[in-house]
Amino acid sequence: MIDENQKLIDEIISLSHHSKTPELYKSSCDSLIIATAKLIEVYNEQKKKTTRIEKNNATFLRQVDKRNIVQNATSTKKDMMLKQQSKMAAMGEMMDAVAHQWKQPLNSLTMMNDMLVDDFKDGLVDVEYINDMTETSHMQISHMVNTLNEFRTFFRPSKNADNFLIKDCVSSVEVLMKDELIKNNINLKVEIKDNISIYGFINEFKHLFLNLLSNSIDAFNEKKVQQREIVIQAYTQSDKNIIEFKDNALGIPKRVIADIFKPNVTTKQDGKGTGIGLYMSSQIVKKHNGLINVQNTQDGAIFTIIIKN
């Protein structure tokens, strides 16, 4: 229609320029008015269609945005719930570890107090005796205070990222898990150079190592492994820091190893595992721009964490 109108307008212009007949000129003008009116009608109809399309597109985009907002909110809420569950599970394990850590010092202090009373009655108490007793008591109390401080620090959120030594991070977790490792006859070897550091949040990495240690302890007990060993190594390779955590707890079942970092996946018996520990560990590594993977070895499993410098 538009092409025909344009052709007609061109003809009218030509006639108006060359025709000397008034009637013909008048007829051309009449045709121009009609053609222009049709052209305007076509334009207005097209404008209405365009407006309807734009309105429909805007409505569709608003609906898509609403769905995305709902989906993002649901995903964020789910992640927060998983994080809280992981934190509560870790807190339970830590409280149990602290209870074990305090049990021995408290028993020692009670025994020392009883000895002091009996030895005083027997006339064995002198200045040297008191000094020895005081030194031993302070040592036991200091151990309890250190354990409590580590427990409090573990759950205190880090506001700012900072450089921290991997060895210090592992040592803090080792203090908290010391009695658990002894009770379960586990030999922990730490082979980390003093100068290897990571920029990030140390408490989150403590959480990661606690998860790995707890999983290994559970695996040793469930599979009744006799000679138990965990090795934590860290070294630098090119522009990467590499942490290896390996045990001899007979490995991860093939049916779940590919999905072990997904939420709600666990190798433990019903009621004994939440299935979120390794998921949260993977999220911690990802937050620090790193990668974590796992593979079975001849004797157990090895977790490899790669963090760029």
End residue of a domain, out of 26, 50, 74: 74
Please indicate, yes or no, whether residues 70 and 171 belong to a single structural domain of this protein: no
Instruction: Name the average pLDDT for the chain.
Output: 76
CA atoms of 129 and 134, how far apart (whole Å): 9
Sequence-separated (6 or more) residues with CB below 8 Å from residue 136: 108, 112
pLDDT, mean of residues 131-135: 84
Domain membership flag for residue 116? no
pLDDT, mean of residues 115-125: 83
pLDDT per position as a tens digit, 96-112: 666 656 766 777 778 77
Domain membership flag for residue 104? no
Determine the pLDDT at residue 83. 59
- Look up residue 24 and give its two tokens: 């013909």
Bridge partners for 197 per DSSP: 165
Please indicate, yes or no, whether residues 297 and 169 belong to a single structural domain of this protein: yes
Please indicate, yes or no, whether residues 195 and 300 belong to a single structural domain of this protein: yes
How many domains are there within the chain? 2
Domain membership flag for residue 149? no
Q: What is the DSSP string of the chain?
A: -HHHHHHHHHHHHHHHHH---HHHHHHHHHHHHHHHHHHHHHHHHHHHHHHHHHHHHHHHHHHHHHHHHHHHHHHHHHHHHHHHHHHHHHHHHHHHHHHHHHHHHHHHHHHHHHHHHHHHHTT---HHHHHHHHHHHHHHHHHHHHHHHHHHHHTSPPSS-EEEEHHHHHHHHHHHHHHHHHHTTEEEEEEE-TT-EEEE-HHHHHHHHHHHHHHHHHHHHHTT-SSEEEEEEEEEETTEEEEEEEE-S----HHHHTTTTSTT---SPTTT--S-HHHHHHHHHHHTTEEEEEEE-SSSEEEEEEEE-
Task: Give the closest residue to 97 by CA, choosing from 206, 200, 205.
Answer: 206
Determine the pLDDT at residue 74. 59
Domain membership flag for residue 14? yes
Domain membership flag for residue 126? no
> Is 6's pLDDT higher than 60?
no
Q: What is the CATH number of the domain that holds 174?
A: 3.30.565.10
Range of the domain at 215: 161-309
Domain membership flag for residue 189? yes
Please indicate, yes or no, whether residues 62 and 166 belong to a single structural domain of this protein: no
pLDDT per position as a tens digit, 273-306: 556 778 888 888 998 999 999 999 999 999 999 9
Residue 101: count other Cβ atoms within 10 Å of its Cβ: 24
Q: How confident is the model at residue 20 (pLDDT cuts 50, 70, 90)?
A: very low
Is-contact 278 215, C-beta < 8 A? yes
Is-contact 293 245, C-beta < 8 A? no
> 228-237 and 186-192: which strand pairing?
parallel
Residue with tokens 């025909």: 4
How many CA within 13 A on the CB side of residue 229? 7
End residue of a domain, out of 57, 74, 91: 74
Please indicate, yes or no, whether residues 289 and 166 belong to a single structural domain of this protein: yes
Q: Higher model confidence: residue 41 or residue 18? A: 41
CA atoms of 14 and 7, how far apart (whole Å): 11
Percent of the chain with pLDDT over 90: 26
End residue of a domain, out of 55, 74, 93: 74
- Look up residue 288 and give its two tokens: 């620090």
pLDDT per position as a tens digit, 212-266: 998 999 999 999 999 999 999 999 998 899 999 999 999 999 988 998 988 776 6
* pTM, 2 dp: 0.58
Domain membership flag for residue 144? no
Domain membership flag for residue 230? yes
Determine the pLDDT at residue 309. 78
Determine the pLDDT at residue 39. 57
Please indicate, yes or no, whether residues 169 and 298 belong to a single structural domain of this protein: yes
Sequence-separated (6 or more) residues with CB below 8 Å from residue 297: 246, 251
